[in-house]
Structure 1
């Protein structure tokens, strides 16, 4: 008897992979790529766009080597969000730009060098490594939106139940799924609105804007880049893997799960939708959430897609001696190079 369901679930997973393979054999890569993009968009759900956006500058602060602004934006009616914009000081000419997406933690302040209360964080950076600041100091304009569910964007209903609630991912995810939408969907919608705002800034060269995400922010970054070809180069850190060995192998936050997505493809093939545009994959060799062996397997599968596109030279990866954290030891310079060269 098989009362527990382990083998049954494993069988369902194998059947899904077999269907992926069988479908892939009946279509060209470009046909499959187009179909998977449509399936990805359908899976995450869409939101009504804001027809009129009137960005508001909330603050402007001179920092060491860059200027930090905070702006208020909107991507869908009835909902606004703030984003930090970091502009390198004394920069000349239109700048390359980066959409910077944080992961689980206390929000965008964690990547722009601030503590949860908004005061300067002069201590040793945590897992996010203040990466928006590092990118700005390398000469890139950066926008770091507040992702809904974290920091100042936790739901008031969650905070009334627990003032120390780490995030609002559960309430947002479950409510949106019941409405046929997903938390990834609204996060990608807002991320692309922030991207559009940055590429339209007069200081920024709109033809040279990329994206970087860490952990849950990398989920948003890969989906945004797969669906919007205006994103010229993408850096994913602490995320690339297979669904099987990461979010299906251990308990992750519910915001990682998209209903029905595995019917269409495993994660490496979905990330491969970014091809042939430049892509850098970064992972710590001791990352327990996204294991390194599966990172390497996923990277190899993505490399196969880039070869199909004739774009092997547009893909790079780095396994660094660390945990679930941002490194940037090679990737930050790579991103600057990709957004500064003629191919951007």
Structure 2
């Protein structure tokens, strides 16, 4: 009898978790309909005294970096990093900055952190490619924030075990391996894993649908858990909390704001458009984070901001963004201006492509400082 490799390696306990776990139900009815469309599992409370494991600590250019983690009821342990300014008085405003998708599941939130000489070459390369060489978590901490970054469902420490790889992912790797050989490319473990994960995300989305959730819903649940961790940390003022991210991280921040309704500030960089604008040419540019079945019947992307009446939003658009048509971004910007006055929403347009450039960071930092400090 042939035995097939697990299609959810490392997550064999995921179905039992979904069968026994409650769904997340926000207090607001409209937010509840979005949560139901996404199939968001209720976030797992993490006790700040007993549920967190603290690991090594390092100081880099005035930023204290502490590694921590927690165990969810399914899958591998979650790794996270807390960054704070070395010198500060009293409680700090908290910031949950969410990593992009970036076609890179091998790396999680470490792509946002500078560990000095300990920073891996893979992280440095990704920061140069997508973040203008910047470790944004360090920079936000230097600006006076307690910054928590965490690996969410399918990234970094929470990635799937694809050894051995299930069928279609294995086929994709075999094809890529033949191409690399013809081109003389020596494939790194990171490149091999990300090649597998690109195909495997389709399998994860199918599994999520069968379990009554979605890929985006699973990520949202883990982001909600991380937000609870941030609020409970001793250095953090739980009443001054913001969230943000670039690309897929920006979409995650928008969903998080809609689910909680009480974030002070939210930054969405290079991740604001309308559903219709993705047709017909831009569907292939995006992951399942942007394509939850049924979500479009419940809410447009800009309309999610209306579910967070206490949040001040900044949306950043790139005129040369390869992943979104300009007309879709402009339609979203127009809708957001209809929904909110200038105090609640600011849309800003930048030259360049799908990169969290230096001017993006400066504006995001100033937004968080204005609202939260």
What TM-score, normalized by structure 2, do the two folds share? Answer: 0.74
In structure 1, what is the equivalent of residue 23 of structure 2? none
With over 3 angstroms needed to count, the CA separation of the structure-2 counterparts of 1:143 and 1:287, relative to structure 1, is same
In structure 2, what is the equivalent of residue 197 of structure 1? 229
In structure 2, what is the equivalent of residue 275 of structure 1? 309
With over 3 angstroms needed to count, the CA separation of the structure-2 counterparts of 1:287 and 1:96, relative to structure 1, is same
In structure 2, what is the equivalent of residue 242 of structure 1? 274
In structure 2, what is the equivalent of residue 187 of structure 1? 219
Instruction: Say if 2:89 is the partner of 1:92.
Output: yes
Instruction: Say if 2:193 is the partner of 1:165.
Output: yes
Conserved? CA contact 2:98–2:149, under 8 Å? yes
Report how far residue 153 of structure 1 moved: 2.9
Conserved? CA contact 2:262–2:311, under 8 Å? no
In structure 2, what is the equivalent of residue 143 of structure 1? 148
In structure 2, what is the equivalent of residue 210 of structure 1? 242
In structure 1, what is the equivalent of residue 22 of structure 2? none
Secondary structure of 1:328's counterpart equals helix
Q: Encode CA deviations 1:92-140: one digit per residue, 9 max, x unaligned.
A: 111111001011233211111369x953766773313422122111111
Distance 1:77 1:233 in 2: 31
In structure 2, stretches of 5+ residues that fail to align are 1-26, 174-188
Structure showing greater relative contact order (alpha-carbon pairs closer than 8 Å, 6 or more residues apart): 2
In structure 1, what is the equivalent of residue 35 of structure 2? 41
In structure 1, what is the equivalent of residue 135 of structure 2? 130
With over 3 angstroms needed to count, the CA separation of the structure-2 counterparts of 1:282 and 1:302, relative to structure 1, is same
Conserved? CA contact 1:284–1:323, under 8 Å? yes
Conserved? CA contact 1:275–1:306, under 8 Å? no
Misfit runs of 4+, over 6 Å: none
Distance 1:51 1:68 in 2: 23
Distance 1:304 1:75 in 2: 40
Distance 1:235 1:76 in 2: 30
Distance 2:34 2:75 in 1: 25
Distance 1:57 1:240 in 2: 36
With over 3 angstroms needed to count, the CA separation of the structure-2 counterparts of 1:52 and 1:338, relative to structure 1, is closer
Conserved? CA contact 1:209–1:233, under 8 Å? yes
CA RMSD of aligned residues (A): 2.5
Distance 1:302 1:199 in 2: 28
Secondary structure of 2:278's counterpart equals coil
With over 3 angstroms needed to count, the CA separation of the structure-2 counterparts of 1:79 and 1:208, relative to structure 1, is same
What TM-score, normalized by structure 1, do the two folds share? Answer: 0.80
Conserved? CA contact 1:147–1:187, under 8 Å? yes
Distance 2:214 2:77 in 1: 18
In structure 1, stretches of 5+ residues that fail to align are 1-32
Distance 2:113 2:218 in 1: 22
